[in-house]
Amino acid sequence: MKINGKPYRTIWPVGRDKVGIIDQTKLPHRFETLELASMQDAAHAIKAMIVRGAPLIGAAAAYGIALAMREDASDEALDRAHDVLAETRPTAINLRWALKRMCDTLRNHPRAERSKLAWAEAAKIADEDVETCRAIGEHGLKVLQDAAAKKEPGETLNVLTHCNAGWLGCVDWGTALAPIYMAYDAGIPIHVWVDETRPRNQGASLTAFELGGHGVPHTIIADNAGGLLMMQGKVDLCIVGTDRVTANGDVANKIGTYLKALAAKDNNVPFHVALPSSTIDWDMAKGSDIPIEERSPDEILKMTGRTPTGAVVTVDIAAPGSTAANPGFDVTPARLVTGFITERGVCEASKKGLKSLFPRE
């Protein structure tokens, strides 16, 4: 995607010894890039959410292994890098998917070949993610075209999305936002309701930043407003991303997604989930088994913003002395999901549906 006309990915190799990333904790107030020089840097970037979003977490973990292999390509170092990176965040399955792929690729090769192989494999994971998300965009565009066809000619299609499942959550294009970019580029009159997505505001800070940068009309709403807008007929469909889909079709995504799915069901609003196959956990039978990340209460008790003078500050917003609980994700049962939009096409949210697109899994 482009930032001020310059094409960007969210992660890129810098020679063979560093990895470039966009510091997403500074957005939307500042656009800053950073260079990761070690596996520990990559692990910190994932844990501190300098990079976030399931597909990008996977790509960053892959480059974390490559950085480790540059320093020490022994089996012990590979195991250590795997374990440190695997501990960063528990819910997004792309992290484990990428680590397994990297280790499977490297383990059967002599030490001397591992650094070069690791850089090549991490780059393949990143390139595949871009192509996968582009394909999700194509299949999702069809879903949006069908929805637009049900409206009066020229009438705006109103889509609601939660969190950030755009190019900032992937390497490029995005998952839930890719069809929206393609619909906009195809001239479909489209408008996006953007859930602010407390407590870290991925919607207000990242999704709005992305859509604004591409010229897509959008409106930021409080997370609790979506139900009313659906009841008022102001939402034609919802599209969200996901951090893990289990074999039966249950969906883990940013906290608040489940409540959106319930409101959509109650108001007959289609609720689509866009995902790459790297986000399907074929080994986990159902959603209630998914580990839910608990993050710092400070993310609830404090808020970061920009002052009129441009300074970025964090302030307390809660009653002094109160504490907070901060589960980062929830699980939407398959029964509330209208369908999955994947790189291989669209399917129902079920074991049978997933198998119809991924029969060999």
Q: Looking at 243, 250, 281, 330, which residue is catalytic? A: 243
Site mask, ligand MRU, residues 75-94, x = CB under 6 A?
-----------------x--
Alpha helices, DSSP H, located in 36-177: 39-47, 54-71, 75-86, 93-107, 111-149
Least distance in angstroms from the C-beta of 328 to ligand MRU: 6
In the complex with ligand MRU, the residue whose CB is nearer, 45 or 118, is 45
Length of the chain: 361
Say which DSSP state 288 is in: G
Q: Does 163 bind ligand MRU (CB under 6 A)?
A: yes
Q: Does 203 bind ligand MRU (CB under 6 A)?
A: no
Least distance in angstroms from the C-beta of 195 to ligand MRU: 11
Cα separation, 287 vs 244, in Å, equals 9
| Half-sphere exposure (Cβ direction) of 281: Cα atoms closer than 13 Å | 25
User: Site residues for ligand MRU, window 274-293 (CB under 6 A)?
Assistant: none
Considering CB under 6 A, how many residues would be counted as binding ligand MRU?
Answer: 18
In the complex with ligand MRU, the residue whose CB is nearer, 105 or 202, is 202
Cβ–Cβ < 8 Å for 181, 239: no
Active site residue 75: no
Say which DSSP state 358 is in: -
Least distance in angstroms from the C-beta of 54 to ligand MRU: 4
Cα separation, 213 vs 227, in Å, equals 27
Q: Does 161 bind ligand MRU (CB under 6 A)?
A: no
Least distance in angstroms from the C-beta of 162 to ligand MRU: 7
User: Site residues for ligand MRU, window 208-247 (CB under 6 A)?
Assistant: 241-243
Helix (H, G, I), strand (E, B) or coil at 252: strand
Site mask, ligand MRU, residues 310-349, x = CB under 6 A?
------------------x---------------------
In the complex with ligand MRU, the residue whose CB is nearer, 148 or 169, is 169
Burial of 34 (0-12, 13-18, 19+ CB in 10 A): middle
For the chain, where are the E strands, in sequence order? 2-3, 6-7, 11-14, 18-22, 33-36, 157-161, 190-195, 218-221, 237-240, 244-246, 251-254, 271-274, 280-281, 302-306, 312-316, 329-332, 339-342, 345-347
Least distance in angstroms from the C-beta of 203 to ligand MRU: 10
Work out which of 170, 190, 331, 347 binds ligand MRU, going by CB under 6 A.
170
Site mask, ligand MRU, residues 94-133, x = CB under 6 A?
----------------------------------------
Least distance in angstroms from the C-beta of 166 to ligand MRU: 7
In the complex with ligand MRU, the residue whose CB is nearer, 158 or 242, is 242
* Interface stretch with ligand MRU, choices 32-40, 76-84, 168-176, 220-228 (CB under 6 A): 168-176
Closest CA to 11 of 65, 62, 78, 76: 62
In the complex with ligand MRU, the residue whose CB is nearer, 55 or 270, is 55
**Cα dihedral 75, 81, 83, 88 in deg (nearest 10):** -170
User: Site residues for ligand MRU, window 39-68 (CB under 6 A)?
Assistant: 52-55
Cα separation, 219 vs 217, in Å, equals 7
CB atoms within 10 A of CB 254: 27
Cα separation, 112 vs 97, in Å, equals 24
CB atoms within 10 A of CB 314: 10
Work out which of 253, 278, 332, 338 binds ligand MRU, going by CB under 6 A.
253
Residues of the shown chain interacting with ligand MRU in the complex, contacts defined by CB under 6 A: 52-55, 92, 163, 165, 169-170, 174-175, 202, 241-243, 253-254, 328
- Point out the residues that are catalytic: 243
